[in-house]
Structure 1
């Protein structure tokens, strides 16, 4: 007995759906691995820059540095948060770090 055309289509769909799910899962895993690898590389670059005393060039940070120099710490934290989208703790830590630099 030969399966009908609709039967073959159903079989193809039932085989195709799990295959597409498997491909999607593989792509998702690859993206997660790439994200973790990128985070490790960024941490390493940050450490190298810190050890060498290199600051990332960012024109928006110049205004924040000026606020820190002028003793306007709260305004500097607010400006840093607006500029970077960082949370409060991260902004406070970064403003403190900027204040400790010569």
Structure 2
């Protein structure tokens, strides 16, 4: 007979599986993907440009939205591109 602790662990595992399935459903329903290395300061427009356009356009969008020099924008966008695997 399993101990109380083992029963609690089994219930928690079932709950995690159910929650993961719910999150997966929501991602599909909303047509979004989870990006583990995304940071709070990452500009969604820049990420979209990296996914669907060119690096140059992403840098232009970054500069328009955040300012800074061309070199700073290029470094920031390339860092984002590496982190997110784009």
Q: TM class by shorter-chain length?
A: 0.3 to 0.5
Q: TM-score, normalised by structure 2?
A: 0.48
Q: Bigger relative contact order, structure 1 or 2, given CA contacts below 8 A and separation 6+? A: 2
Q: TM-score, normalised by structure 1?
A: 0.41
